[in-house]
């Protein structure tokens, strides 16, 4: 870690120009709203009995996925988590194919075989949600190795939660990424809880970004409720990775408004805490910033909400009207 | 080893030379790396130690291909496996080495939950072209954590292929096929076989995964064995031949996919089946092979099938105890005598 990269701070000053054009900002806001609407509808579908297993809502954390993925090129890659709908949409996933997968339909991303926790689009650089906490960490690091071996300047973003901070694979992969200078950025979404385990009680340091010091690469924290703060922090890390200077850790401090999954008893936190975080809502904040800086007018943003809702409804309609997979497909695709 | 594994010269026009099993594996790696720039090797001590690999399988590769494509790793088995999976999904063709199969216990998450399932979970839209090499087996006094035979772990998991060559030619031909396969292949060598010599075709030589080979013909009983149990089975067949008992020795060579037809054809001829492996008998692949044969060809059997397998104990250090923990040629001889009596 460079002594000029202070732990716990982004390596760009917060008022530095971010270089995002109005169309890019508009797309970021639209994607954040899409993620929220998508997961709200997914919860409804679950409660209607149309979804099996479970679903892990990303609601409240939209600024992380969107701010981080806005730094990427289409040829870059991400690995995601069990709470993965937001990452997938932010990397360009098609909500119709995602919704069809949630309903287990043949038209879904995984032909109904993966469900919420395994949505992937490898050709689009989405190397999958993952049902194993920390399961994407080694995959992302390996994808970065493939890019380095092939001489391509592609970067892999590795999303994981605070729960994965204490998985052994993070230690092994971070060390390897450092010694080999792999183009990977570890994006930790510290949403404060791993199921009922509070990050501040189950992680040995208050600021997990300091762990990067042990691997000799930069570790920075940022406000995960501020999409532009995430963008700044991740953009610096991506630029470093693309330049062949190796990995970084970016810890985004955020919050999941809802339970770990549907059916969470939520007996481990109080509603006052939730309300406090909700007052810092990343979508409201970004929209207000855009209006107050005169980038877009409030009416146009309000209309965007309706447009997003219609697109999600179209995705739900597509999913509902799609066919079930044929039972004959059960044994397909076990092997290539 | 009571008898080196010398298979009949493989058919074909190619020039053959006598190589060791380790040299044959090395040749397969070298030729595949020359053919396909996406192939790379990584693992603990594969580049620098002794010129390449604790058992010499990767010897000289770093000189020819450089440290980018022949990567020494830290002692991080889970990351070796997980990075290999990620690299495979992103377009590379990794050959990851685990120094001992026992150490793969540290890497089971990425192997079982990621490599084996990614293609299926993703609806067939991903490929995981990956070879995970390791060596297994007892016989060198390495004791309980360096002597196991764990092929059954991997055979149990849909999505993995499992390869167990017993001769130098098979080692080369199967490794070339494994590297070209678009699936995760667990390629298990045996530590006692590395010095075994046999004829090996030069140049491109592939053996399809899922094709057994009859290593010796016989009409009284069928012995199905892998790894060292093949040369031990051949030695047992020599002994039995002097008593007028003809033992057929079949090496499945790959356990997943498994060439059941070849085993059934042999059992239909002999009417008797003995299965041998060093791995613990309980829930070993012998149980699976016997079940498949009994289910498909019960009528062909003249006697209940027999297992000659490792004892259900950790592998001990003392040489007398170690030799008693895994099957020897005499154990096969005794089992066959009883079976044909």
What tens digit of pLDDT does each residue of B163-215 get? Answer: 999 999 999 999 999 999 999 999 999 999 999 999 999 999 999 999 999 99
Q: How far apart are CA A293 and CA A298, in angstroms?
A: 11
Q: How far apart are CA A14 and CA A260, in angstroms?
A: 31
B157 pLDDT more than 90: yes
- Quote the number of domains for chain A: 1
Catalytic residue IDs of B: 77, 146
Residue A173 lies in a domain: yes
Q: Which member of A118, A147, A335 has the closest CB to residue B183? A: A335
Residues in A closer than 8 angstroms to B43, CB to CB, are none
Q: How far apart are CA A217 and CA A181, in angstroms?
A: 9
Q: Which member of A113, A118, A173 has the closest CB to residue B82? A: A173
DSSP secondary structure letters along B43-100: ETTSSSGGGS-TTSTTTTHHHHHHHHHEEE--S-HHHHHHHHHHHHHTT-EEEEEESS
Q: What ipTM goes with this model?
A: 0.93
Residue A135 lies in a domain: yes
Q: What percent of chain B has pLDDT above 90?
A: 96
Which residues touch A236 (CB under 8 Å, ≥6 apart)? A10, A11, A12, A220, A248
Residue A329 lies in a domain: no
pLDDT of residue A19: 87
pLDDT of residue B12: 57
How many C-alpha atoms does B15 have within 13 Å on its Cβ side?
A: 3
Mean pLDDT of B37-57: 96
Per-residue tens of pLDDT for chain A, all 336 residues:
233 333 344 444 455 567 899 999 999 999 999 999 999 999 999 999 999 999 999 999 999 999 999 999 999 999 999 999 999 999 999 999 999 999 999 999 999 999 999 999 999 999 999 999 999 999 999 999 999 999 999 999 999 999 999 999 999 999 999 999 999 999 999 999 999 999 999 999 999 999 999 999 999 999 999 999 999 999 999 999 999 999 999 999 999 999 999 889 999 999 999 999 999 999 999 999 999 999 999 999 999 999 999 999 999 999 999 999 999 999 999 999
Residues in A closer than 8 angstroms to B124, CB to CB, are 111, 332-333
pTM: 0.94
CATH code, domain with A238: 3.40.50.970
Chain B residues whose C-beta is within 8 A of a chain A C-beta are 38, 40, 68-69, 71, 73-74, 76, 78-79, 81-92, 94, 109-110, 113-114, 118-129, 158-159, 161, 181-183
Residue A106 lies in a domain: yes
The whole domain housing A126 covers 22-324
Residue A6 lies in a domain: no
Contact of A178 with A216, CB cutoff 8 Å: yes
Q: Which member of B71, B110, B126 has the closest CB to residue A138? A: B110
Task: Give yes or no for a cis peptide into A27 (omega within 30° of 0).
Answer: no
Residue A14 lies in a domain: no
Q: How many CB pairs under 8 A join A and B?
A: 152
Residue A272 lies in a domain: yes
pLDDT of residue B9: 52
Residue A16 lies in a domain: no
Domains along chain B with CATH numbers: 16-201 (3.40.50.970), 213-340 (3.40.50.920)
């Amino acid at each position: 870690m460079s002594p000029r990269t202070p732990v716990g701070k982004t390596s760009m000053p917060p008022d530095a120009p971010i270089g995002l054009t109005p169309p890019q900002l508009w797309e970021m806001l639209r994607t954040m709203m899409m993620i929220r609407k998508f997961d709200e509808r997914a919860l409804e579908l679950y409660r209607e009995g149309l979804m099996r297993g479970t679903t892990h809502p990303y609601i409240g954390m939209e600024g992380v996925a969107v701010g981080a993925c806005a730094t990427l090129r289409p040829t870059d890659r991400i690995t995601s988590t069990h709470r993965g709908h937001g990452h997938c949409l932010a990397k360009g996933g098609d909500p119709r194919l995602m919704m069809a997968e949630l309903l287990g339909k043949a038209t879904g991303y995984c032909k109904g075989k993966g469900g919420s926790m395994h949505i992937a689009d490898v050709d689009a650089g989405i190397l999958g949600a993952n049902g194993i906490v920390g399961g994407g960490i080694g995959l992302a690091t390996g994808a970065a190795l493939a890019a380095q071996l092939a001489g391509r300047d592609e970067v892999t973003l590795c999303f994981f939660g605070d729960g994965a901070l204490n998985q052994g694979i993070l230690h092994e992969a971070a060390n390897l990424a450092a010694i080999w200078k792999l183009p990977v950025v570890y994006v930790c979404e510290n949403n404060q809880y791993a199921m009922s385990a509070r990050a501040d009680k189950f992680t040995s340091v208050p600021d997990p970004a300091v762990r990067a010091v042990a691997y000799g690469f930069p570790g920075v924290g940022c406000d995960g409720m501020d999409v532009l703060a995430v963008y700044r922090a991740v953009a610096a890390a991506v630029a470093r990775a693309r330049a062949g200077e190796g990995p970084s850790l970016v810890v985004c401090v955020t919050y999941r408004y809802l339970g770990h999954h549907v059916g969470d008893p939520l007996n481990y936190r109080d509603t006052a805490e939730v309300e406090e975080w909700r007052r810092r809502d990343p979508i409201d904040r970004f929209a207000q910033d855009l209006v107050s800086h005169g980038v877009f007018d409030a009416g146009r943003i309000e209309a965007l909400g309706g447009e997003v809702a219609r697109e999600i409804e179209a995705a739900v309609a597509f999913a509902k009207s799609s066919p079930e997979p044929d039972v004959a497909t059960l044994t397909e695709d076990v092997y290539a | 080893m009571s008898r080196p594994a010398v298979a009949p010269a493989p058919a074909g026009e190619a020039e053959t030379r006598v190589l060791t099993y380790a040299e044959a594996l090395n040749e397969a790696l070298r030729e595949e790396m020359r053919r396909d720039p996406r192939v790379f090797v990584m693992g603990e001590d594969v580049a620098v130690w002794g010129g390449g690999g604790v058992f010499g399988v990767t010897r000289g590769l770093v000189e020819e291909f450089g440290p980018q494509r022949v990567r020494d790793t830290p002692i991080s088995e889970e990351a070796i496996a997980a990075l290999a999976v990620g690299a495979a999904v992103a377009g590379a063709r990794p050959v990851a080495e685990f120094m001992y199969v026992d150490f793969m216990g540290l890497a089971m998450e990425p192997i079982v939950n990621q490599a084996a399932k990614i293609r299926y979970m993703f609806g067939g839209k991903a490929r995981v072209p990956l070879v995970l090499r390791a060596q297994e087996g007892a016989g060198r006094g390495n004791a309980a954590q360096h002597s196991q035979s764990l092929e059954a772990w991997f055979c149990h998991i849909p999505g993995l292929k499992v390869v167990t060559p017993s001769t130098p030619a098979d080692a080369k031909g199967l490794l070339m096929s494994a590297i070209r396969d678009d699936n995760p292949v667990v390629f298990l060598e045996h530590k006692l076989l590395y010095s075994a010599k046999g004829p090996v075709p030069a140049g491109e030589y592939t053996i399809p995964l899922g094709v057994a080979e009859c290593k010796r013909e016989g009409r009284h009983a069928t012995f199905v064995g892998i790894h060292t149990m093949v040369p031990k089975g051949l030695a047992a067949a020599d002994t039995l031949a002097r008593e007028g008992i003809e033992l057929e020795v079949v090496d499945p060579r790959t356990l997943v996919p498994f060439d059941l037809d070849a085993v059934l054809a042999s059992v239909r001829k002999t009417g008797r089946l003995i299965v041998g492996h060093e791995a613990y008998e309980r829930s070993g692949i012998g149980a699976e092979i016997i079940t498949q044969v009994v289910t498909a060809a019960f009528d062909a059997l003249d006697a209940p099938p027999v297992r000659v397998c490792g004892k259900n104990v950790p592998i001990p250090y003392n040489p007398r105890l170690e030799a008693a923990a895994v099957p020897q040629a005499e154990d096969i001889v005794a089992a066959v005598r009883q079976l044909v009596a």
